[in-house]
C-alpha cells in the first residue's frame, strides 16, 4: 500500500519551473541523445508527476523547443556576455573564449549530441541560430583585432569549425587530442597570425 505524503513535506517541496524541466531535458539529451527526452523518465528524474510537466508544456515538442532555447541562452548568450564583462582586450577575450569553449566541449557531450540530432527540425534551427551567433561574435572579435570584415568572417568560421572538430574528436576518439595548453596556444596563434 502506498504511503500518503505528509502535507508539510508537500508544502516544503520546491515547485518545478519550466527551466527545471528544460535543464533535465538537456541533461538527458547529453547523456543519451534526443530520444532520451521523454516525459515519464524526466518526471521520475525530477521526482515530479506528469501533471507538473503538462503545467508547463503542451507536449514533448514544446519541451524540446524550451530545452534548445535554454541551451542557446546558457551556452552562447551568457558566455558572450560574461566574456564582454570579464575581458576588455579583444585578443585576450578571444584566447579565453577558445580555451573555455574547447575545455567545455571536451568535458560534456551535449554539443556533439545536438550535432548528431541535426535532422530534427527544431534542433537544426537551433544549431543554425547558435552557429551564426557564435561565428558572428568570433568575427566581431577578429574585426576588433584589425582584420577586414571578409577576413574576420573567414577566421571566425575557421575558429568555430576548429571548435566543432575538437568537440567531435574529444568524444569520438578520447585521448587523441593533446591536453596541454601549448597545443591550444598553437591553434590560437595560427588564427591570429596575419
For residue range 86-111, list pLDDT tens digits in order.
Answer: 999 999 999 999 988 888 888 889 99
pLDDT of residue 161: 95
* pTM greater than the 0.85 cutoff: yes
Which residues have a Cβ under 8 Å from the Cβ of 105 and sit 6 or more positions away?
111, 112, 163, 166, 167, 170
pLDDT of residue 8: 44
pLDDT of residue 18: 96
- Neighbouring CB atoms inside 10 A of 100's CB total 13
Low-confidence ranges of the chain (pLDDT < 50): 1-12
Amino acid at each position: 500500500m502506498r504511503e500518503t505524503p505528509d502535507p508539510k513535506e508537500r508544502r516544503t517541496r520546491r515547485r518545478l519551473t519550466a527551466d527545471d524541466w528544460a535543464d533535465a531535458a538537456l541533461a538527458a539529451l547529453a547523456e543519451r541523445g534526443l530520444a532520451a527526452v521523454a516525459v515519464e523518465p524526466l518526471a521520475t528524474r525530477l521526482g515530479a508527476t506528469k501533471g507538473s510537466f503538462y503545467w508547463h508544456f503542451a507536449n514533448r515538442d514544446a519541451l524540446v523547443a524550451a530545452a534548445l532555447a535554454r541551451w542557446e541562452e546558457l551556452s552562447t548568450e551568457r558566455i558572450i556576455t560574461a566574456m564582454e564583462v570579464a575581458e576588455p582586450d579583444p585578443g585576450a577575450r578571444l584566447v579565453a573564449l577558445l580555451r573555455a569553449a574547447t575545455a567545455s566541449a571536451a568535458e560534456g557531450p551535449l554539443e556533439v549530441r545536438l550535432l548528431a540530432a541535426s535532422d530534427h527540425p527544431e534542433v537544426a534551427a537551433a544549431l543554425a541560430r547558435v552557429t551564426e551567433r557564435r561565428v558572428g561574435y568570433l568575427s566581431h572579435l577578429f574585426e576588433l583585432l584589425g582584420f577586414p570584415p571578409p577576413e574576420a568572417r573567414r577566421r571566425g568560421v575557421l575558429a568555430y569549425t576548429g571548435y566543432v572538430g575538437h568537440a567531435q574528436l574529444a568524444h569520438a576518439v578520447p585521448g587523441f587530442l593533446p591536453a596541454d595548453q601549448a597545443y591550444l596556444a598553437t591553434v590560437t596563434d595560427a588564427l591570429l597570425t596575419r
